[in-house]
Amino acid sequence: LQQATINYENALADYNLDTNPSDSQLAPLMLNLAQAELQLSLTLEPYRDVDVALARVGVQRAQAALDIAKIQLEETVVEAPFDGVIAELFVSQGSRVSPQNNVVELLSDALEIKVEVQESRISQVTKGQAVSMRTTAYPGQDFPGVVSNISPKANADTRTFEVTVTPTDGEDLLRSGMFADVAILAQENSNTVLVPRSAVIQDTDPPTVFVVGDDNRAEERKVNTGLFDNDRVEILSGLKPGEIVVTAGQGSLTDGTKLDVTNDPRVAE
């Protein structure tokens, strides 16, 4: 304010001192006086309501532009919706992409195995049930798991229900796309007879097992089977614990055939 007043007074003094100025001299003096009056007026009343309103509109527009820029910046970063491993990258650095483009194939760390269970057996499956799995990549190795989900609807074509199994150990060895043999522990029996699955001929009705009889001759037994897993079958009747069973070449055997017993005989447990 003080500087504006000084400027105004100086301009007015210059104008008054020049009592008989020419037009060329008067014009710049009047301009200086007008500028000094305007500066003094703006200093005494610097902001009008309309100026404040316009300034606020300008601030709002600038804020809106900043918000839009932030959103656009965020949309330039592709974030994975879950933790996982990149299996395949479909673009290279510097490529232009749109929402319709596939960028990566992302595999979840949380592996799941899908199993189709027959309608007649689905009542024996519940969430949290123990599961044993085997893969061709790791023969002879069991991978434990649990039933994590059971589809509420049967497949219209196969009449089976999709059951989801989640591994509880060995996930670092399993890979997406592997095939697995899955055994769901639907029931547990104690004090029962078990034999290797390879000992049971399932093509006959009822199933057949050959045991080593007197004088190492094959003895055919018709058996009733129960529960089974990847390795063994429960025998409900037809065998006794301790009997030696034939696990190879049964297809060519008949009752009474002479057998060559190995040094590692398999017995009914």
Reply yes or no on domain 113-184 having CATH 2.40.30.170. Answer: yes
Q: Which has the minimum average pLDDT: 2-16, 76-90, 241-255?
A: 2-16
Overall average pLDDT of the 65-75 stretch = 78
Strand locations in 69-223 (E): 84-89, 104-108, 113-118, 130-135, 143-150, 160-167, 180-184, 193-196, 200-201, 208-212, 218-222
pLDDT digit string, tens, across residues 163-189: 999 998 887 788 888 888 888 877 767
Q: What's the rounded Cα separation, in Å, for the pair 217 and 258?
A: 4
* pLDDT for 95: 83
* pLDDT for 148: 92
Q: What's the rounded Cα separation, in Å, for the pair 120 and 118?
A: 5
Contact 158, 141 (CB under 8 A): no
Q: What is the CATH number of domain 193-267?
A: 2.40.420.20
Which of 13-22, 34-43, 44-53, 203-212 has maximum average pLDDT?
203-212
One-letter amino acid for residue 93 of the chain: Q
**pLDDT above 60: residue 78:** yes
**pLDDT above 90: residue 162:** yes
User: Burial letters for 199-222: b for 16+ Cβ neighbours within 10 Å, e otherwise?
Assistant: bbbeeeeebbbbbbbeeeebbbbe
Which residues, listed in sequence order, are joined to residue 104 by a DSSP beta bridge? 89
pLDDT digit string, tens, across residues 114-158: 989 888 888 888 899 888 888 888 888 889 999 999 999 999 888
**pLDDT above 50: residue 22:** no
Overall average pLDDT of the 12-22 stretch = 51
Please state the domain extents for the chain: 2-44, 79-108, 113-184, 193-267
User: Average per-residue pLDDT in the chain?
Assistant: 78
